[in-house]
Amino acid sequence: MNPFEYIEPGSLEEAAALLAEDPSGTKPIAGGTDLLAEVKDGIERPRRLVSLAGLKELQGVRSQNGHTRLGAGLTLTQLCEDSRLQRDYPILVQAAYTIATPQVRNIGTLGGNLCQRPRCWYYRHPLFPCYKKGGSICYGATGHNRNLAILGGGASFMVHPSDMAPALIAADAQLEAFGPQGFRIMPLEEFFASPEDQPLQEHVLDKGEVVTSVLLPTPSQNTKSVYLKARDRVSEDFALASVAASVTLDGRTIIKANIILGGVAPTPYRAHLAEESIVGKEIGDLDLQQTANLAVHGARPLRYNEYKVSLTANLVRRALQGLLNL
């Protein structure tokens, strides 16, 4: 493991300035559950780590301008145990409970979850100079690709590993970032970047920027949502495929639907065709198998991951059946 300097800045401004002056060598660290494993394995070799853990702007759950604001420094355990989130955004609590183990959730943060790096074996192995580490090849395209992408692959077939990302996008979350230019807010869906657009990171943060919070709109009384995740082991495992589904009803008519897939594409994947197939329809007129098939329309499985196509479609069907009591 390379030696590195460790700094605890006194303010958000100081953290952003430290990160901006040396973007290639200085990394932010929150809980460290992902980053320190990368440093120990020689995947990341930072000269400096800037801790975000003590920054008060990143803490807590509170109301802000009609939104619920989740600080990026919120641990996943704090998120699971927050009574407001349990009541108003159960999909987030469901997703957080599927992550890792209690020990990781006690330390791992929301911001770190959204900014974590790929879990592909080739990326995580120090001897493979894969595309996501600055190389020119995605070894997963022809190698061990059981866990990799069936949708949206190209320069890389990594899958986005975050469980919180699909659930938050289904809840119409926005993301707030702070950097040398100040604060900016974007729809969370626009935060994630394709490997073609950003080979060396999975998001659109600029130099010196950090995630400060996630903002959630007030949920409508008529909206129901659920997070389902398929994995090899029930504990401490990433999604083979997941679905975050949210539907809003007017009587028995679906007036809005968010269907976001995890574990199947380099970014959280919105199943547009599946959403469009149910919006405006009466519950009794739905063909959920057709909707489930539309969710994976255009899938291009690799040699060892064809199973993900039916697995994902089945998750979508089960999620909608549960939400609509069908």
Instruction: Measure the CA–CA gap between 106 and 288, rounded to whole angstroms.
Output: 38
On whether the CB atoms of residues 43 and 134 are closer than 8 A, the answer is: no
Provide the minimum distance between the beta carbon of 276 and ligand FAD in the complex, in angstroms, as a whole number.
Answer: 28
Q: How far apart are CA 310 and CA 295, in angstroms?
A: 10
Among 118, 140, 161, 263, binds ligand FAD (CB under 6 A): 161
Determine the size of the site formed for ligand FAD (CB under 6 A): 32
**Residue 27 contacts ligand FAD per CB under 6 A:** yes
Quick one: 239 or 249, whose CB is closer to ligand FAD? 239
Compute the least distance from the CB of residue 219 to ligand FAD, in Å: 22
User: Least separation, in Å, of the C-beta of 27 and ligand FAD?
Assistant: 4
Task: State the nearest-atom distance from the C-beta of 8 to ligand FAD, in Å.
Answer: 14
Residue 28 as a binder of ligand FAD (CB under 6 A): the answer is: yes
Select from 28, 29, 171, 33 the least CA-distant residue to 102: 33
- CA 152 to chain centroid, in Å, comes to 16
The Cα-based distances of 170 to 8, 104, 291, 306 in angstroms read 34, 24, 17, 25
Regarding 104 and contact with ligand FAD (CB under 6 A), the answer is yes
Distance between CA atoms of 164 and 11, rounded to whole angstroms? Answer: 26
Regarding 96 and contact with ligand FAD (CB under 6 A), the answer is no
**Residue closer to ligand FAD (CB basis): 242 or 305:** 242
Among 76, 173, 274, 324, binds ligand FAD (CB under 6 A): 76
Residue 318: CB minimum distance to ligand FAD, A: 19
Distance CA 45, CA 48 (A): 9
SS3 label, residue 35: helix
- Cβ-closest residue to ligand FAD? 112
Kindly state the DSSP code that residue 262 receives in the 8-state scheme: E
Q: Does 160 bind ligand FAD (CB under 6 A)?
A: no
Phi/psi at 45 (5° precision): -130, 70
* Site for ligand FAD, rule CB under 6 A: 27-35, 52, 72, 76, 99-100, 104, 107-109, 111-113, 115-117, 161-163, 210-211, 236-238
